[in-house]
Structure 1
Amino acid sequence: MEQVTNSPKLKLAIQKSGRLHEDSIKLLKECGIDISNGVNKLKADASNFPLEVYFLRDDDIPQYVEDAVADIGFVGENVVYEKKKKVDVVEKLGFGKCRLSIAIRKNETYSEASFLSGKRIATSYPVIVEHFLKEKGVSAEIHEISGSVEIAPGIGLADAICDLVSSGSTLFMNGLKEVETILQSQAVLIRNQSLTADKQQLLNRLLFRIQSVKKAKNNKYILLNAPNDKLDQIIGLLPGMKSPTVLPLADKGWSSVHSVLNENDFWNIIEQLKAAGAQGILVVPIEKMIV
């Protein structure tokens, strides 16, 4: 266990409730950082890492980081771009993925952004929408709404909306359809632009852990048995970190091959391995991956 001293602590702001909260806490736990926060507490200390965690409203996190009330924050990209605060995006965290999209009534036809010309658009993201319209050379009226944006067309408040979309089911239930994505978003780590050298060192240590967890999630550890006469062909299919580990089996003429596969290539390569003669393929999740 790391010794916690009176040296500086890194101050991290995360969402106190909502879609990013649980995944933020989960990521810290996967990084080996123990946070004990009671009900309704707005601040908690890590027991084994020089870290303080502040639980804040998602929309407020960029401001707190810019003002150095917090050194770093976990927040949605959509909020970073909407608030336009002076912070640096350091790392994409891989969770909270969604998209900010334009949606219109189901019975309407949308071919390009000019469809929005002269129309009323309801959104909680007026800055991003205004930038999108300006890029497209479209003049439209933006109505800023803090919540329940999807009901705006149904009650006559707007002709279209721009809102966060995950599955699209909420749009469907409100008689809308998604027609254009203007921003792909996920949780990111942001930092104050004037971190001290000590705080930056702590951030580097935290980033090392986060990146190790992310690499592990994107890869699988595989073990397989291969006939020696097909070994070169099978090894050629495995793009591991460096090269596969090959160990002789008690059964003469066979070897055990250990390697790592990227999640995106996994099924395609597994099929090729089987076709090349690999047997007894085992797939094991990786908890941490240090490269």
Structure 2
Amino acid sequence: MQQKLKIAIQKSGRLYEDSVKLLKDCGIDVKNGINKLKTEAENFPLEIYFLRDDDIPQYVEDGVADIGIVGENVMYEKNKKAFIVEELGFGKCRLSIAVGRKDDYTGVGFLQGKRIATSYPILVEKFLAEKGISAEIHEISGSVEIAPGIGLADAIVDLVSSGSTLFMNGLKEVETVLKSQAVLIRNEKLRADQLQLLDRLLFRIRAVKKAKNNKYVLLNAPNNKLQEIIALLPGMKSPTVLPLAEPGWSSVHSVLSEDRFWDIIEQLKDAGAQGILVIPIEKMII
């Protein structure tokens, strides 16, 4: 019987869709029926468990699941015996302190002796201890942002993406406790065959991530400007240069990282590049 790797992902919520999409982008056929808690991939030795986000670190620690996709905030809050093997780049948010919009917040000293409502008491307690602040922590689940408005707390610590929910509840974000994203975690005691399967999965995940962070660029360059343009396009090793049918021109193919893309495109135009095409990359294997 073929050994399978068992992965736990969120059954619903903000990480579910991106987790399933990542597996599918890795070429893994994932089928999840309504209310189904377990499924198997047909084309990769993988069992997928659909669980509550908060339970995933415990399942991985216990070895019920070998690996899991979970938010860093949950991983650190639950403090289980599992460790991060890969940052996945989606589900980005921050665990932040928020106070009333009219409060005169001048620094973390403001929190001294205050009441703080949160669903993340361990992370908040650690943050306050590092800052030398003594405060009263109220652990609540869900709708943390209403706590100041109903007199339960003076401040909150909660996950923030856009900040619109805070604004609607008369709050303002003042400190970041933790920057978070989805991560792949694993059990500490995987066998050699399980580690081999994990390496195969990581190879695919990293190829997908690399592709998302890069663009394939094709352009036409006058030969008298070719060296100047090539200098702007390092590519994976070096750009590919092919002669065009029109004398004095070449076609240049390369890869650009997303974070430098627009700056370099502007420089290419200034250097004389024409007919610039930008194409998404589906997979990128280095």
CA distance in structure 1 between the aligned counterparts of 2:166 and 2:33, rounded to whole angstroms: 36
Secondary structure of the corresponding residue to residue 117 of structure 2: strand
Q: Name 1:3's counterpart in structure 2.
A: none
Q: Name 2:45's counterpart in structure 1.
A: 50
Q: Name 1:257's counterpart in structure 2.
A: 252
1:139 correspondence with 2:134: yes
Identity of aligned residues (%): 78
1:20 correspondence with 2:15: yes
Q: Name 2:184's counterpart in structure 1.
A: 189
1:227 correspondence with 2:222: yes
In structure 1, stretches of 5+ residues that fail to align are 1-5
- For residues 233-258 of structure 1, the C-alpha deviation after alignment (integer angstroms, 9 at most, x for no partner) is 00000121000000000000000000
Give the 5 Å matches for 1:183-222.
Answer: 183-222=178-217
In structure 2, stretches of 5+ residues that fail to align are none
CA distance in structure 1 between the aligned counterparts of 2:74 and 2:103, rounded to whole angstroms: 29
Q: With the length of structure 2 as denominator, give the TM-score of the two structures.
A: 1.00
Q: Which 4+ runs in 1 deviate beyond 4 A?
A: none
Return the letter of the residue paired with 1:86. K
Alpha carbon RMSD of aligned pairs, Å? 0.4
1:285 correspondence with 2:269: no
CA distance in structure 2 between the aligned counterparts of 1:201 and 1:112, rounded to whole angstroms: 48
- For residues 139-165 of structure 1, the C-alpha deviation after alignment (integer angstroms, 9 at most, x for no partner) is 000000011000000000000000000
1:113 correspondence with 2:104: no
1:155 correspondence with 2:150: yes
Secondary structure of the corresponding residue to residue 94 of structure 1: coil
Q: Name 2:97's counterpart in structure 1.
A: 102
- For residues 110-163 of structure 1, the C-alpha deviation after alignment (integer angstroms, 9 at most, x for no partner) is 121111000000000000000000000000000000110000000000000000
Q: Which of residues 9, 20, 28 is equivalent to 2:4?
A: 9
Secondary structure of the corresponding residue to residue 54 of structure 2: helix
Q: Which of residues 88, 94, 102 is equivalent to 1:93?
A: 88
Return the letter of the residue paired with 1:117. Q
Q: Name 1:271's counterpart in structure 2.
A: 266
CA distance in structure 2 between the aligned counterparts of 1:266 and 1:128, rounded to whole angstroms: 37
Q: Once the 2 structures are TM-superposed, how far is the Cα of residue 99 of structure 1 from its aligned partner?
A: 0.2
Q: Name 1:69's counterpart in structure 2.
A: 64
CA distance in structure 1 between the aligned counterparts of 2:193 and 2:81, rounded to whole angstroms: 21
CA distance in structure 2 between the aligned counterparts of 1:88 and 1:169, rounded to whole angstroms: 32
Query: How many residue pairs end up in the alignment?
Result: 286
Q: With the length of structure 1 as denominator, give the TM-score of the two structures.
A: 0.98
Q: Once the 2 structures are TM-superposed, how far is the Cα of residue 202 of structure 1 from its aligned partner?
A: 0.2
